Amino acid sequence: MNYASIRTCDIANGEGVRVSLFVSGCTHRCKGCFNPDQWDFAYGKPFDAGTEAEIFAALDKGFISGLTILGGEPMEPENQRALVPFLRRMRRRFGDARNLWVYTGCVLETELEADSHWRTEVTDEFLSMVDVLVDGPFVESLKDISLRFRGSSNQRIIDMAARRRGLAS
């Protein structure tokens, strides 16, 4: 997996001060996307042990609330497979002390939980580690700059931790 960039002090992509990882590769190709260069799976640099160490060092800072993964598309099947081992290590190291937000153009119920191109052998494990999922494709005609943490009004902010506990999201 390649990644486009890492932001170590991001306040735009989730609650609190965050570390954000922008992965490369996206087949949604939403009209009006703000990161079209990241559609290319070969864009950026390889995600390796040094990248992981850089992210963990940034997450070690006490003022950091958590990690956000966006892109590109984290839920591309090949990106899921690359991210799950990293997320396991993140959870072992930080537990619940750092939360995890993931942005996806996929819709949770119809693309990630149901049979689809997006659902893989690691999707359930991936989703089990996510605290907040922002789902749905960016729809340019529904763009709304007044929305917090979303680009268009069709996108949802889903509290996955509450959902796992059987509470409304």
**CATH number of the domain within which 11 lies:** 3.20.20.70
- Asked whether residue 115 is assigned to any structural domain, the reply reads yes
Distance CA 36, CA 25 (A): 10
Q: Which DSSP helix (H) or strand (E) runs through 81?
A: helix 77-94
Tell me what pLDDT residue 168 has: 59
- C-alpha distances (whole Å) from 8 to each of 41, 59, 120 are 22, 8, 30
**Vertex 89, ends 95 and 104: CA angle to 5°?**
85
- C-alpha distances (whole Å) from 36 to each of 82, 117, 141, 145, 150 are 21, 21, 17, 19, 17
The pTM for the full model equals 0.94
Tell me what pLDDT residue 166 has: 84
Q: How many domains does the chain have?
A: 1
What's the domain range around 126?
A: 2-164
Task: Output the tens digit of pLDDT for each of the chain's 169 residues.
Answer: 999 999 999 999 999 999 999 999 999 888 888 788 889 999 999 999 999 999 999 999 999 999 999 999 999 999 999 999 999 999 999 999 999 999 999 999 999 999 999 999 999 999 999 999 999 999 999 999 999 999 999 999 999 989 988 865 5
- Asked whether residue 169 is assigned to any structural domain, the reply reads no
Q: Which DSSP helix (H) or strand (E) runs through 3?
A: strand 2-10
- Asked whether residue 100 is assigned to any structural domain, the reply reads yes
- Asked whether residue 44 is assigned to any structural domain, the reply reads yes
Q: What does the longest C-alpha to C-alpha distance in the chain come to?
A: 41
Distance CA 98, CA 168 (A): 22
